[in-house]
Amino acid sequence: DGADETFGEMAIEHRHGLVHFLGPGDEEWASAKAKETQKYAFEHVKKELLEHKVVSEAFEQAGDSRVLGSQRTDDWRARVAAMAARRNFLQVRRADAVYVVGWRLEKGKDQFTGREDVSPHETPVLDIGGGTGWACQWYVDRFADGGEDPAQCQLFFFDDAGPPWSRKDPATEGKWNRWNMASKTWEQLAEAPPRPVGLYAGIGATRLSSRAESAIRDLYHGLAEKIVLVKLDRSRL
């Protein structure tokens, strides 16, 4: 539901390929509309794959950036698992570009709920909240030292500033932004995100405002300049 459902709806309308990755038990949380119109695209992933060495190593690497200081308790892995984070790794593993509609963590808030007070240094630098934040972390980790060319990182974020406890930053709220790998900051785009190439992932929050839904639809309808989305290719996952 939310962003995933809306991205899926628009992908179908524009005859793009579509895959929704679901871990064990995830389908029960899918909306009735998604089950009715997008169930053919449900890709059920077994626990064995989600616990594969490649996923687990990426999980630990992302944890080093997201679960910091006092949040790094003995049960932190289980708490992240409750956020359905591991399946999100598959969404961005081979994506050339990632489009995200979500919210930011307030400085000094924990990464699990976004509501608990922690040291300001414990809020992740890549500050998108929820399980979506983990997907974004896995994507940018691909461009870390010794990885892919940082210039090829195409992480685009529409800041919906959804829940009341989220960060409200006029510089990013209600706008499309791009992650800068060098400065590790969000940069506001003067226009809509540039035309993506190859695979893309469209992900985000489970609840969207009307402006966020419009931001997704505008990408596909060409109301924003320089937008052409391309289909997902299962063979590259």
pLDDT tens sequence across 59-103: 999 999 999 999 999 999 999 988 877 999 999 999 999 999 999
pLDDT of amino acid 76: 96
pLDDT of amino acid 221: 76
Residue 79 makes CB contacts below 8 A (sequence gap 6+) with 112
CA dist list (Å): 198 to 72, 94, 113, 164, 193: 36, 9, 33, 36, 15
pLDDT of amino acid 235: 41
Confidence of residue 222 (pLDDT cuts 50, 70, 90): low
- Comparing C-alpha atoms, which of 202, 195, 113, 207 is closest to residue 160? 207
Q: How far apart are CA 102 and CA 104, in angstroms?
A: 7
CA dist list (Å): 2 to 33, 82, 106, 214: 11, 18, 22, 12
Q: How far apart are CA 123 and CA 107, in angstroms?
A: 6
For residue range 173-202, what is the model confidence (pLDDT) as tens digits? Answer: 999 999 999 999 999 998 888 755 568 999
Q: How far apart are CA 169 and CA 24, in angstroms?
A: 36
pLDDT of amino acid 82: 84
Q: Burial, 77: exposed, middle or buried (Cβ in 10 Å; 0-12, 13-18, 19+)?
A: middle
Residue 148 makes CB contacts below 8 A (sequence gap 6+) with 142
Strand 42-44 and strand 97-102: the pairing is: unpaired
Burial string for 198-211 (b: 16+ CB within 10 Å, else e) reads ebbbbbbbbebeee
